[in-house]
Amino acid sequence: MQRAIYAGSFDPITLGHLDIIERGSVLFDELIILLMVNEEKNSLFSMEERKKMIEDSTHHLKNVRVEIGDGLTVEVAKSLDCRILLRGIRAVTDYEYELQLATANMTLEPEIETVFLVSKPYLSFLSSSTVKTIAKNHGDISMFVPENVKKILEDLFR
């Protein structure tokens, strides 16, 4: 069975994330969305709130599940018997960062591979931070996030 992990903070999940998830779900038998604690980021939503948003956004994908993890992604991957890390790349700056992560992960756990999917061009600028900024300023976020997330953000910043 080909099992992959797509790790991130997903604060909140965007249509860019969802695109990578949907495409990854076709490539792998099972795709685990791994919500990771990131001490460097000031999160808007709790881990449980983000998990619910992701589950609600991916309920149509039968081979996708959501887990919460802490520590090194490669260690969580080993504990879940997973040898593939799926990553999305939006731009050249993402590639430089992702290459550093993939190389560090390869050094720590040589048997775990990183697979990159390039964002669709119309989603290549999209980030959770961008979505939060637009939502805080009462802009239209309907083209950036799933409907369930749009409602949550609009209610929060109303």
Catalytic residue among 17, 87, 132, 150: 17
Among candidate residues 51, 119, 128, 132, the one labeled active-site is 128
- Residues of 111-125 as b/e, b for ≥16 C-beta within 10 angstroms? ebebeebebeeebee
- Active-site annotation holds for 128: yes
Q: Give just the sign of the alpha carbon dihedral 67, 13, 126, 43.
A: negative
Cα distances from 143 to residues 10, 15, 132, in angstroms, run: 17, 8, 13
Backbone angles phi, psi at 37, to 5 degrees: -70, 130
17 is catalytic: yes
The two structure tokens encoding residue 96: 């430089």
- Annotated catalytic residue 90: yes
| Beta pairing class for 84-89 and 113-118 | parallel
Which of the residues 41, 59, 136, 138 is marked catalytic?
41
Of 50, 51, 87, 90, the catalytic one is: 90
Supply the residues annotated as catalytic.
17, 41, 90, 128
